[in-house]
Amino acid sequence: MTHRSPDAAPWWRSAVVYQIYPRSFQDTTGDGVGDLAGIARRLDHVVALGVDAIWISPIYPSPMKDFGYDVADYCAVDPLFGTLADFDALVAAAHARGLAVLLDFVPSHTSDEHPWFRESRSSRENARRDWYVWADPAPGGGPPNNWLSEFGGPAWSLDEATGQYWLHIYLREQPALNWRNPDVQAAMLDVMRFWFDRGVDGFRVDAVEHLVPSAALTDNPPDPAWRPGMQEARALHRAYTAHQPEVFDAARAMRRVAGEYAPERLLIGEAYGTLPEVMAYYGGEGLDGFQLPFNFQLIFAEWRAESIASMVEGYEAALPAGAWPNWVMGNHDRPRIAGRIGPAQARVAAMLLMTLRGTPTIYQGEELGMVDVPIPPEMAHDPMEKNAPGQGFGRDPVRTPIPWEDGPKAGFTTDEPWLPIGGAPPVSAQAADPGSMLALYRRLTALRRAEPALSLGSYRTLACADDVLVFERRHGERRLVVALNFADAERPLAHEGPVLLSTHAGDRVAGRLAPNEGRVMEG
């Protein structure tokens, strides 16, 4: 990959990140599951989309209880996806095309099949016992406290042989590492170095908010916002399991490792929390934490112009001095944006994502306007669905394979795909259609690349009324105006500058926005 000169803005500030869920991108072995060679085969699609970096969800050896987020070996590739040689070839191919490569880093827990946990579980005296979080039963018996697993039920499982419970914020097969143990921290930081030495340009750090839960094991208080029908884990406020002070020390330690490499490598943190909690991951005055703590607000936002404007203003105001914003519409855990707000507004959402100040992340399939694909109960894979069937928590519908071509296997595989394929017209059809969602995303990324006002410029809200949000992006003397119509009806527009890009084809009426239209105009 060609990096910018040291005196230029870091490459990731003007970049667009594209998340690849490898199981569902492209299969080359005929087993119905995507692989590393498949990613390499489809890099031309990524390049044509106009993004700058790919983030690859976990590819490590794993029993796949949580589809790779239960890691059995941090320094290898699961045979399902290929080999280390395949990974090296993918990195080389991506760099040759000017693409950065980011990996998922899963530091808070391993698989229960990881050799470290097998040793830790073997006896209380084992040298690796303290590598995981163990605790005695409560005085009256049962789990040490009331902490809940994100997947339902207690966050503790009893090891009958040793008489203690192990902590698992997620599945019982995902025991929590003890980051208070210096040996654990050193081992995990060495994992980062292993992949950095292979050419990785950064990491998306998984579930970092749970990295160092309270050592006092204090009960979490009830969450008054919880209602029946919500996830069981949300019944308690995560006061003692998330965003503890030691988490931010760990983030700074990871950043120091990233800083050992020239140029400094990128760290994106996954931390769901309040705005102040998320901002803390940037670090102190020196911004010595993650460069980009993920901003998930658009995933949960009420889709109204006024709500979006207020959210953007609040986020911009909360950023520490010098911190760089970022935006994301969806990921492998959350319902797809096109299904949440409908296909017409999904085009407005695409323009919003690509024109706000900050680094955007596209989840694979968003560029096609994919919606969640219904999964028959007998085909469900996700433990979120299996543990609470029929309650709508399953993530399989957002993880379905990319439809590349027409036909029953959609060019994804020659065998039965691991999940049903659908959710959008195929890439081949959209690439040939100038009015497609794919064509719109390509135009948006091209405009963003051509206009520093969009990639690096300042942000200012100009107006927000009657379902229309209008904002300014400015870089030097160059001023652009973005107008977004959140209504399914025509709306007046005061600004009438030359139109650089519209979500709609055909003629435009001066002073009027078409229903569900977004425009980028000269100032």
* Inter-CA distances, 490 with 345, 467, 483, 485, 514, Å: 14, 10, 13, 8, 5
Which of 201, 206, 367, 451 is the catalytic position?
Answer: 206
**CATH number of the domain located at residue range(s) 115-167 in this protein:** 3.90.400.10
Distances (CA, A) of 380 to 61, 217, 401: 22, 34, 14
Is the predicted pLDDT of residue 159 greater than 90, yes or no?
A: yes
Tens of pLDDT, residue by residue over 291-317, are 999 999 999 999 999 999 999 999 999
pLDDT at site 1:
47
* Domain ranges in the chain with CATH number 3.90.400.10: 115-167
213-244 confidence digits (pLDDT tens): 999 999 999 999 999 999 999 999 999 999 99
- Beta strands across the sheet bearing 468-475: 458-465, 468-475, 478-485, 518-522, 499-502
pLDDT for the residue numbered 497: 92
Distance (Å, rounded) from C-alpha 379 to C-alpha 78?
23
Would the CA dihedral through 125, 131, 137, 139 be positive or negative? positive
End-to-end Cα spacing for the chain: 34
pLDDT digits (tens, 9 = 90+) for 96-120: 999 999 999 999 999 999 999 999 9
The residue whose two tokens read 């290898």 is 76
Q: Which ranges in the chain are annotated with CATH 3.20.20.80?
A: 11-107+182-447
Report the mean per-residue pLDDT for the chain: 96
DSSP 3-state of 293? strand
> Degrees (nearest 5) of the Cα angle 469, 470, 476?
145
Find all residues with CB under 8 Å of 242, minimum gap 6, and list them: 209, 210, 213, 273, 277
Domain spanning 11-107+182-447 has what CATH number?
3.20.20.80
User: Residue 260 catalytic?
Assistant: yes
At residue 3, the pLDDT reads: 41
Average pLDDT over residues 389-406: 96
**Distance of CA 339 to CAs 299, 351, 389, 522, Å?**
12, 17, 21, 31
pLDDT at 508: 82
pLDDT of 317 reads 98
Closest to 402 in 3D by CA, of 374, 368, 375: 368
d(CA 130, CA 128): 5
Residue 342 CB partners (closer than 8 Å, separation 6+): none
Residue among 44, 136, 190, 260 flagged as catalytic? 260
Q: Is the pLDDT of residue 364 over 70?
A: yes
For the chain, what percent of residues have pLDDT higher than 90? 95
Report pLDDT digits (tens) over 501-519. Answer: 999 988 788 899 999 999 9
Secondary structure of residue 478 in the 3-state scheme:
strand
- 3-state SS of 146-215 is CCECCCCCECEEEECCCCEEEECCCCCCCCEECCCCHHHHHHHHHHHHHHHHCCCCEEEECCHHHCCCCC
Which of 5-14, 307-316, 336-345, 363-372 shows the lowest per-residue confidence on average (mean pLDDT)? 5-14
* Span(s) in the chain for CATH 2.60.40.1180: 457-522
Helix (H) or strand (E) holding 484: strand 478-485
Going by pLDDT thresholds of 50, 70 and 90, the confidence category of residue 5 is: very low
The span from the CA of 361 to the CA of 119, in Å, is 39
Percentage above 70 pLDDT, the chain: 99
Residue type, 242: A
Look up the CATH number of domain 457-522: 2.60.40.1180
pLDDT at residue 4 greater than cutoff 60: no
